[in-house]
Amino acid sequence: MTLPGRGGRSRRCPCFGGHPRCQRWMLYQLSKAGKLCVPAMNVNDSVTKQKFDNLYCCRESILDGLKRTTDVMFGGKQVVVCGYGEVGKGCCAALKALGAIVYVTEIDPICALQACMDGFRVVKLSEVIRQVDVVITCTGNKNVVTREHLDRMKNSCIVCNMGHSNTEIDVTSLRTPELTWERVRSQVDHVIWPDGKRVVLLAEGRLLNLSCSTVPTFVLSITATTQALALIELYNAPEGRYKQDVYLLPKKMDEYVASLHLPSFDAHLTELTDDQAKYLGLNKNGPFKPNYYRSVLAGCCWGHRFPLGAL
């Protein structure tokens, strides 16, 4: 994105949000190689973006997407969610609340332990693939659901992706002569095996919520505010504050994004007393947390916050 700079200069301010795993990776690689020619702000990893776009938005839109496409009833259904990051946590919380039996797959022991503590069985996909009614991928990875998994699924199993692009489910492997594809409604395909078994594939493996449901304007507002503030910060920063590197949005701005959205809940913030501010070593106006601080994700789902260092 190009902005007119102060004093007539032109300044490039790359800034990204949405589903930018590749762009983020690319920018960090460029920075590492010393080839980044402008400062960049990694908006994707700011807390407000992560929480709202990934966790809270997906917590709602997973149900919306599944309902609109399949009208499935969730109570008692066995669901496996691949990946217990922000998106996975949101999906699991929503499905659990509706009475689904939720399994989680993970590669990271910390996220796996969080899933255990939140009451989910952590399994390998191959252990449950024959019995589950719904498979949801949220890993940001590729080929998490393979043709072998798809071959072993039971009749009417629903398969969908909430994670990265269209890489998580190996959809290409289903384009073989022995399998028949039947479009039953928009964004819903039945893939039919020679013995009559059907797998219900949603949005051809693309992001379910972006393809089949809506994104609440509240979430868009938070993401857009974060991006706008990142651009303003890069634009207004005095010469030398940012070098040709990738930065996280300053914590104070993250807090500002959140504070701008509090009035819609009629939420009233407690103000630190001078004595308390001194005791905690904080400025009364923030930032209230160090830049490295990340809310514990699962706790956040249920409205609690713990400092990372307390884990």
Ligand X SMILES: NC(=O)c1ccc[n+]([C@@H]2O[C@H](COP(=O)([O-])OP(=O)(O)OC[C@H]3O[C@@H](n4cnc5c(N)ncnc54)[C@H](O)[C@@H]3O)[C@@H](O)[C@H]2O)c1
Least Å distance, CB 208 to ligand X, is 7
| Residue from 47, 101, 111, 171 in contact with ligand X (CB under 6 A) | 111
For residue 99 the two structure tokens come to 């009475």
- Return the number of the residue (108 or 127) whose C-beta is nearest ligand X: 108
Q: Which of residues 28-67 bind ligand X (CB under 6 A)?
A: 53-54, 57-58
Least Å distance, CB 104 to ligand X, is 8
Residue window 127-166: x/- pattern of binding to ligand X, with contact defined by CB under 6 A: -----------xxxx--x-----------------xxx--
Least Å distance, CB 32 to ligand X, is 20
Least Å distance, CB 15 to ligand X, is 16
- Return the number of the residue (143 or 156) whose C-beta is nearest ligand X: 143
Residue window 200-239: x/- pattern of binding to ligand X, with contact defined by CB under 6 A: -------x-xx-----------------------------
Q: Which residue is nearest to ligand X (CB)?
A: 85
- Return the number of the residue (169 or 253) whose C-beta is nearest ligand X: 169
- Binding window for ligand X (CB under 6 A); candidates: 86-94, 187-195, 198-206, 228-236: 86-94
Least Å distance, CB 102 to ligand X, is 14
- Residue 8: count of CB within 10 angstroms of its CB: 6
Interface with ligand X includes 308 (CB under 6 A)? no
- Residue 91: count of CB within 10 angstroms of its CB: 33
For residue 244 the two structure tokens come to 């040709």
Interface with ligand X includes 17 (CB under 6 A)? no
Tokens 């022995």 found at? 178
| Residue from 85, 205, 233, 249 in contact with ligand X (CB under 6 A) | 85
| Residue among 147, 115, 110, 141 nearest 129 (CA) | 147
- Return the number of the residue (169 or 200) whose C-beta is nearest ligand X: 169
Least Å distance, CB 161 to ligand X, is 8
- Residue 99: count of CB within 10 angstroms of its CB: 12
| Residue among 205, 72, 190, 92 nearest 133 (CA) | 72
* Binding positions for ligand X, rule: CB under 6 A: 19, 21, 53-54, 57-58, 82-88, 105-108, 111, 138-141, 144, 162-164, 207, 209-210
